[in-house]
Amino acid sequence: MEWLVILAYVAALFVLAAIVLVVIDRLQDLYWRRKNPPEKLAAERLAYRERIRNPDWAFFAAHLRRDVPRSLKDLYADHETVLADTAVFGDEPISFGAIDERGLTETVEWPGVEAVAIARNDSGDPIYLRPGADETNAVYVTYHDGGDTEQVSADVDEFIASIRLDEEPA
């Protein structure tokens, strides 16, 4: 009979812990929503889209330490594609990034990546060209779940040519 009382206490502790965690989660959500009203989020999204529309090619060329590939400039001139929510590379949805100094700051948060992400995959992993005068224009992705880096395209022209817009957002 004593073991039933112990079991009841343990069960009560688990229930209490679950209630505390749910309350903490709700309070954090409420705090985040107060700190980030829809108007603020919309303004930030609009500002980011404006950064995508206006790449800083001089900064990017200096960062790459070589000329920016013409195909990349042409891609970013096509605002419909770079701002689309339906861009796909291979089987994976991608979104294009802002090419500017802040874009570099946002990407270097990834260990081992000192590049400006030209895009991100659906998991948020940066897709980029490696900087360096002797580097090719191959396109790479560094994965967040282990830091593995993979070449996804031998050339940025091939990468861009294989991007398509799906009918429906992913």
Closest-CA residue to 87 (of 168, 167, 164, 170)? 164
116 and 156 share one domain: yes
The CA R_g of the chain, rounded to the nearest whole Å, is 22
Residue 18 has pLDDT above 90, yes or no: yes
pLDDT band for 143, please (50, 70, 90 cuts). Answer: confident
What's the pLDDT band for 168 if we cut at 50, 70, 90? low
How many structural domains are present in the chain? 2
pLDDT digits (tens, 9 = 90+) for 51-83: 999 999 999 999 999 999 999 999 999 999 999
The pair phi, psi for residue 38, each rounded to 5°, is -55, -35
* Residue range(s) defining the domain that contains residue 19: 2-35
Residue 29 lies in a domain: yes
* pTM summary value: 0.76
**Residues 90, 14: one domain?**
no
**Pair (74, 14) in one structural domain:** no
Above 70 in pLDDT, residue 110?
no
Query: Which residues have CB under 8 Å from 91's CB, separation 6+?
Result: none
User: Cα(105)–Cα(114) distance, rounded to whole angstroms?
Assistant: 9
**Whether 29 contacts 97, CB under 8 Å:** no
* Mean pLDDT of the 19-39 span: 94
Q: Which of 153, 146, 100 is nearest to 127 (CA)?
A: 153
The answer to whether residue 48 is domain-embedded is no
The answer to whether residue 44 is domain-embedded is no
Percent pLDDT > 90 in the chain is 64
Residue 90 lies inside a defined structural domain of this protein: yes
For residues 77 and 135, membership in a common domain is answered with yes
> Same structural domain for residues 71 and 143?
yes
pLDDT for residue 104: 79
Closest CA to 51 of 75, 83, 94, 80: 83
Q: Tens of pLDDT along 76-98?
A: 999 999 998 888 988 889 999 99
Looking at the structure, do residues 104 and 161 belong to the same domain, yes or no?
Answer: yes
